[in-house]
Amino acid sequence: MDLAIVEDPDPDGPPSALRAARLAWAAVADDATHHLVVQDDMELVAGIAQSVRQAAAAMPDQILCLFSEWGSRTAHAVRLGAIEGVSWVPVIDPYIPTTAVLLPAQVARELAVAPAGETVPDDVVLLAYLRERGLVAYVSVPNLAEHRGSASIVGNDTLWGPRHTALYAGRLETVPVLDSTISQQTLVPHVLVWDGLSVALTREAPAEQTRGQWSAIPTYRFLAERGVTVPDLLGWFDTATTDLFQDGEVRTLVADPILFQSWVNHLAYGVAATNVLPDLDTLTKRLSDPVVMEAMRTLIPGMFQRFLPLASVMRLRDIMDDFIRGAMQFGFTVPELLAERAARTAGQS
Smallest CA-to-CA distance from 197 within 267, 266, 261, 259 is with 261
Report yes or no on 2 lying in a domain.
no
- First CA to last CA distance, the chain: 70
In this prediction, residue 288 carries a pLDDT of 96
Residue 176 falls inside a structural domain = no
Contact indicator for 104, 63 with CB cutoff of 8 Å? yes
Tens of pLDDT, residues 58-91: 999 999 999 999 999 999 999 999 999 999 999 9
* Greatest distance between any 2 Cα atoms in the chain: 74
Residue 323 lies in a domain: yes
How sure is the predictor about 163, in pLDDT bands with cuts at 50, 70 and 90? Answer: confident
Residues 328 and 194 both lie in one domain: yes
- Residues 160, 271 within the same domain: no
Rounded mean pLDDT, 312-329: 92
Asked if residue 326 and residue 234 are part of one domain, the reply reads yes
Confirm whether 243 is domain-assigned.
yes
Q: Are 211 and 99 contained in the same domain? A: no
Q: Do 223 and 149 fall into the same domain?
A: no
Instruction: Report the CATH number that the domain containing residue 36 is assigned in CATH.
Output: 3.90.550
pLDDT of residue 64: 98
- Of the pLDDT bands very low, low, confident and very high (cuts 50, 70, 90), residue 238 is very high
In this prediction, residue 154 carries a pLDDT of: 46
The whole-number pLDDT of residue 152 equals 47
Residue 254 inside a domain? The answer is yes
Rounded to whole angstroms, how far apart are CA atoms 301 and 308? 9
| Interval 255-303: pLDDT, tens | 899 999 999 999 999 999 999 999 999 999 999 999 999 999 999 999 8
Q: pLDDT tens digits for 192-222?
A: 987 889 999 999 877 655 555 899 999 999 9
Sort 322 into a burial class: Cβ within 10 Å, 0-12 / 13-18 / 19+.
exposed
CA torsion through residues 314, 100, 139, 174, sign? negative
Instruction: Please report the DSSP string for 106-141 in residue order.
Output: HHHHHHHT----TTS-HHHHHHHHHHHHT--EEEES
Residues 117, 194: one domain?
no
Top pLDDT among 77 and 116 is at 77
Residue 349: predicted pLDDT: 65
- Strand-pair category, 137-140 with 63-65: parallel
Is the domain of 98 the same as that of 195?
Answer: no
308 phi and psi angles, rounded to 5 deg: -135, 155
Judge if 264 and 152 occupy the same domain. Answer: no
Do 277 and 227 share a domain, yes or no? yes
CA pair distance 242, 302, nearest whole angstrom: 24
101-126-112-109 Cα dihedral, nearest 10 degrees: 60
- Structural domain count, the chain: 2
Render pLDDT for 183-194 as a digit per residue (tens, 0 to 9).
999 999 999 987
Asked whether residue 8 is domain-assigned, the answer is no
Three-class SS state of 198:
strand
Q: What pLDDT was estimated at residue 299? A: 93
pTM of the model: 0.92
Helix intervals (H) in 192-246: 219-224, 230-240
Residues 159 and 211 in one domain: no
223 and 311 assigned to the same domain = yes
Say how far residue 40 (Cα) sits from the centre of its chain: 22
In a domain, 207, yes or no: yes
Residues 42 and 72 occupy one common structural domain: yes
In Å, how far are 10, 26, 216 from 118, measured between CA atoms? 12, 16, 31
Its domain, for residue 320, covers 187-348
Pick the closest to residue 143 from 109, 171, 117 (CA basis). 171
Residue 37's DSSP bridge partners are 101
Residue 179 lies in a domain: no
Q: Burial level of 2, CB count in 10 A (0-12/13-18/19+)?
A: exposed
